[in-house]
Amino acid sequence: MKQLIVNADDLGADEARNAGIFEAIREGSVTSVSILANGPALEGALQAIGSLKEEKISWGIHLNLSEGTPLIAGLRRLTGKDGFFLGKAPAHELLSRRGDPELEKEVTQEMEAQIQAFRNAGIRISHLDGHQHIHVFPAVVRAAVRLAQQHRISWMRVPEEPDPTPAGGTVDGPLLRESRNFSGLAKAARAQLEGTGIRTTDHFRGLYLKGRLSLPSLIETLEDLPEGFTEMMVHPGRIPETPLSAPFSGFSTLDRAKELEALLDKDFRKALTLNRIELTPFPEN
């Protein structure tokens, strides 16, 4: 049996991203969503969630320690002098460190604040993952697992994915190296989940589709989907009518719009049927 969770990341990044994700939800192409607790468009996202009626969607927290403004004031290690997170590359370098109690304390405090913000908003958190996969980095993973247990979050993303086959098209050097790094960190993080009661899917897809997801690559992914339970990470969105200057201003681009169009295409639904794939949110139990 093949079951697929199509999870849209970065809800709350901006209104254009929100619009694209909810469009995909209404069309039945997205079954799960991960939300940025410090996203500039979070309030609009929460209002839209409250207006949903029949759609069965699992909502998760997209823990963020790399971009935008933290929820905790006075952080010394995770932020620059301007009070903002450090950005992707510096944050990844910092969070790759092991055995730094002060850093891990700040990581725990900020992630706790982000989770608590969702609980206060009445969002039932089904799953936990990380913006730019920070949740599987050495300075973060133990705290992420501990907080998931404390808050009874049932599922955690493990973005471990095999290299694409030659038929999957050429993956450029930077994307290949980045994806292999994330996958290696995820493989190590998987061991942290043993005996915790936190579940993860059998398979993960999406690392190698970053910026290159199209209808042909999406259909090929479905054709090669293994038996079992798979999470596929996607980033659909619309393009803003006017340029943005917020911390996440680079998120709603033509690539995001192309992803959305691929997910909305009738041939995506046909491929699901032909390959006997059942779309599902993260199960509650």
- Give the CATH number of the domain where residue 53 resides: 3.20.20.370
Radius of gyration, alpha carbons of the chain: 18
Range of the structural domain that residue 253 is part of = 2-279
Domain-embedded: residue 285: no
| Higher pLDDT pick, 211 / 268 | 268
What pLDDT is recorded for position 36?
Answer: 96
Tell me how many domains the chain contains: 1
Residue-wise pLDDT for 70-93, tens only, equals 999 999 999 999 999 999 999 999
Domain-embedded: residue 284: no
Distance CA 75, CA 106 (A): 7
| Catalytically annotated residues | 9
> What's the N-to-C CA distance of the chain in angstroms?
18
Residue 120 in contact with residue 84, Cβ under 8 Å? no
Q: Indicate if the pLDDT at residue 166 is higher than 70.
A: no
Distance CA 206, CA 113 (A): 28
Domain-embedded: residue 188: yes
Q: Indicate if the pLDDT at residue 167 is higher than 50.
A: no
What pLDDT is recorded for position 135?
Answer: 98
Q: Indicate if the pLDDT at residue 190 is higher than 80.
A: yes
Residue-wise pLDDT for 220-249, tens only, equals 999 999 999 999 999 999 987 766 566 666
Residue 159 in contact with residue 204, Cβ under 8 Å? yes
Taking each continuous run of H as one helix and of E as one strand, the counts in the chain are 9, 8
